[in-house]
Amino acid sequence: MIPFLDLKATYTELKDELDAAYERTLSSGWYILGEEVEAFEADWARYCGAKYCIGVGNGLDALHLIVRAMDISAGEEVIVPSNTYIATWLAISYAGATAIPVEPDPRTYNLDPDRIEAAITSRTRAIMPVHLYGQPADMDAINDIAQRHQLKVIEDAAQAHGARYKGRSVGSLGDAAGWSFYPGKNLGAIGDGGAITTNDAGLAEKVRMLRNYGSRVKYYNEVKGYNSRLDPLQAAFLGVKLRHLEEWNARRQIIVQQYFAGLSRLPNLVVPYVPEWAKPVWHLFVVRHPQRDALQQHLQAAEIGTLIHYPVPPHLSQAYQETSWPEGSFPLAEQLAQSVLSLPMGPHLSPGACEVVIDEVARFATTPQPTVA
Ligand SMILES: *Cc1c(COP(=O)(O)O)cnc(C)c1O
What is the pLDDT at residue 322?
A: 87
Q: Whose CA is nearest to atom 7 of ligand 1?
A: 59
How crowded is residue 4: how many other Cβ atoms within 10 Å of its Cβ?
A: 18
Give the distance (Å) from ligand 1 centre to CA of residue 60: 6
Residue 55 to residue 59: CA distance in whole angstroms: 10
**The one-letter amino acid at 326:** P
**The one-letter amino acid at 232:** P
Q: What sections of 175-281 are H helices per DSSP? A: 201-210, 232-263
What is the pLDDT at residue 326?
A: 93
Residue 16 to residue 255: CA distance in whole angstroms: 26
Give the distance (Å) from ligand 1 centre to CA of residue 363: 34
Phi, psi of 180 (to 5 degrees): -115, 140
| Strand (E) or helix (H) holding 125 | strand 124-127
Residues whose CB is less than 8 angstroms from the CB of residue 123 and which lie 6 or more positions away in sequence, other chains included: 75, 76, 77, 98
Render each residue's pLDDT in the chain as its tens digit; 373 residues: 999 999 999 999 999 999 999 999 999 999 999 999 999 999 999 999 999 999 999 999 999 999 999 999 999 999 999 999 999 999 999 999 999 999 999 999 999 999 999 999 999 999 999 999 999 999 999 999 999 999 999 999 999 999 999 999 999 999 999 999 999 999 999 999 999 999 999 999 999 999 999 999 999 999 999 999 999 999 999 999 999 999 999 999 999 999 999 999 999 999 999 999 999 999 999 999 999 999 999 999 999 999 999 999 999 999 999 888 999 999 999 999 999 999 999 999 999 999 999 999 999 999 987 765 5
101 pairs with which residues across the strands? 80
Phi, psi of 65 (to 5 degrees): -65, -30
What is the pLDDT at residue 323?
A: 84
Give the distance (Å) from ligand 1 centre to CA of residue 156: 8
**The one-letter amino acid at 177:** A
What is the pLDDT at residue 372?
A: 59
111 lines ligand 1 (CB under 6 A): no
Ligand 1 atom nearest the C-alpha of 62 is 9
156 lines ligand 1 (CB under 6 A): yes
What is the pLDDT at residue 135?
A: 98
309 vs 85, 156, 319, CA distance in Å? 8, 16, 17
What is the pLDDT at residue 371?
A: 65
295 lines ligand 1 (CB under 6 A): no
130 lines ligand 1 (CB under 6 A): yes
Residue 225 to residue 222: CA distance in whole angstroms: 8
Q: Whose CA is nearest to atom 4 of ligand 1?
A: 59
| Whole-structure pTM value | 0.97
- pLDDT, one tens digit per residue, over 207-264 is 999 999 999 999 999 999 999 999 999 999 999 999 999 999 999 999 999 999 999 9
| Strand (E) or helix (H) holding 100 | strand 98-102
Mutate to test the pocket of ligand 1, among 56, 64, 80, 88 (most ligand atoms within 8 A of CB): 88
What is the pLDDT at residue 369?
A: 75
Mutate to test the pocket of ligand 1, among 63, 83, 159 (most ligand atoms within 8 A of CB): 159
Give the distance (Å) from ligand 1 centre to CA of residue 31: 24
